[in-house]
Amino acid sequence: MVFMMKNTHSFLFILATLLTFTACPKAPQSGQSQSESQTTSQACETPDDPQKIAAEVYGKTITEGELEQAISTDLYELRNNIYRLKERQLDEMIGKIVLEKEAARLKLSVNELMDKEVKRRSQKVTQRDINDFYEKNKDHLKGTKDQFKDRIQSFLERERFNEAYQKYVDQLKKRARVKTYLAKPERPRVELSLTPAPTKGKEDAKVKIVEFSDFECPFCGGLIEKLDNVLNKYKRHVSLTFKAYPLSMHKNAPLAHQASLCAHDQGKFWPYHDILFKNQKQLERSHLEDHAGKLKLDLQKFKQCLDSGEKFAKVQKEMQEGNQAGVRSTPTLFINGKILVGNVPQEAIEEVVNEELRGK
C-alpha cells in the first residue's frame, strides 16, 4: 500500500505538472542547447571564495561572485527544486514510519489500516465533479468529455484518496511530534535599476512589489486578483509597480503594452490594465481602440499615441530591465528585490511580504 501511495504521488505530480503550469516561459536564448540547460548538484553550490577568478578577458577578470550574482535567479530556482524534492521524499519516509507504528499499535497490517482509516475518509467522485474538472481543463484535454470521463474519474479518485491519506498521516505526525530540519534556500535579493512605471500604493510603502508581466500570458492574468487582495490586505504597507515584459510567442502583447502606456498618459492605466487581462484574446489593434472607448479615453490622442510608436522604446527598456534583473518567464515578481516566479498562491506572496515587514 505504501508503494501504491508513492506511485500515486508520482502520478499526481506528473498530471499536475501537465495541467497547471504557472508561468509563460521566455524563448530559449540563441545557441543554448538542452545540455547547457541541464544541471548537476555542482551548479547549485555557493562559491567558497567569491573573489576567485572564473575567467580573464583582455586583462579583465570575472570572479565567481560576479558569476553567481549574474545567474542568482536561476540558481535559486535550482536550489528550490532540490529542496522540494528532498521535502517530498522526506514526507514519504516519515509517512511510512508513522503508518507502520500506528498499524503495529492497532495490531493491523498497513493495508488494513489504510482500508480502515483512509478509504472511508475519501470523498466519492460525482458526475458533477467530472463535469467541472473537464470544463476547467478542456483547453488542455484534446478530446470530448466522454472520451476523458473514465480517466478524469480515475484521476479524481486517486487525488481524493491522496488528500485523505495526507490528512490522516498529518494527524499521525502531529501525534508523533515530528520535527524536520530541512532548510529552505534563501531567496536572492536582486538590486533593481528601474525607470518610472505605473504604480499602485504609497511611494513610501515598506514593501514594494515589482511585477514583470505580459498581457497575453494566461498565468499573468491569473495573478491579478491575488495581487489586488494583497494590496487591499496590507494597504499602505505595500505598493505594486507594473513592468512590461511581452514574450516573443505572444504577437499581440507588444502593442497591448504600448496601448496601456497610452492609457496611462490619460490617467487610466490600471482600468485599462484590468480590461486587457479580462480580454486576453482581444488584443488586436481594433480591440485596443474598443477598450479605450469603453473607458471614455480621448480616442484621437490614444490613436495618435499608438500610431507614433512613441511607447515602443519604453516597452523595450522595461524588457531590458527585466533581462538585467534575471526575468526568465512571466509573471515574475520582485518583492523588495526577492523573486517569485509564476502564478503563485496568494499565501506565497504574503509569506515574502510578511518577511519584509518583519525586517528579515
Domain boundaries, the chain: 2-22+76-176, 199-357
Residue 309 one-letter amino acid = G
Average pLDDT, rounded, for the chain: 88
What is the dihedral sign for C-alpha 42, 44, 48, 53? positive
Q: Are 350 and 207 in contact (CB under 8 A)?
A: no
Q: Taking residues 107-117, report their average pLDDT.
A: 94
CATH superfamily of 199-357: Glutaredoxin (3.40.30.10)
CA–CA distance from 299 to each of 190, 198, 255 (Å)?
39, 21, 16
Closest CA to 230 of 353, 87, 356, 95: 353
Kindly report, residue by residue over 274-333, the tens digit of the pLDDT. 999 999 999 999 999 999 999 999 999 999 999 999 999 999 999 999 998 989 899 999
Query: What is the 3-state composition of the chain as percent helix, strand, coil, each rounded to the nearest 5?
Result: 60, 10, 30
Rounded average pLDDT over 45-65: 87
Residue 198: exposure state from Cβ atoms within 10 A (0-12, 13-18, ≥19): middle
Q: Please name which of 358, 356, 347 lies closest in space to residue 233, comparing C-alpha atoms.
A: 347
The proportion of the chain whose per-residue pLDDT surpasses 70, expressed as a percent, equals: 88
What pLDDT score does 46 carry? 54
Answer yes or no: is pLDDT of 124 > 60: yes
* Cβ–Cβ < 8 Å for 81, 40: no
Q: Of 15, 177, 27, which is closest to residue 101 (Cα–Cα)? A: 177
Query: pTM of the full predicted structure?
Result: 0.70
Res. 163: pLDDT tops 80: yes
Sign, CA dihedral 74-75-78-84, equals: negative
Mean pLDDT of 8-15: 43
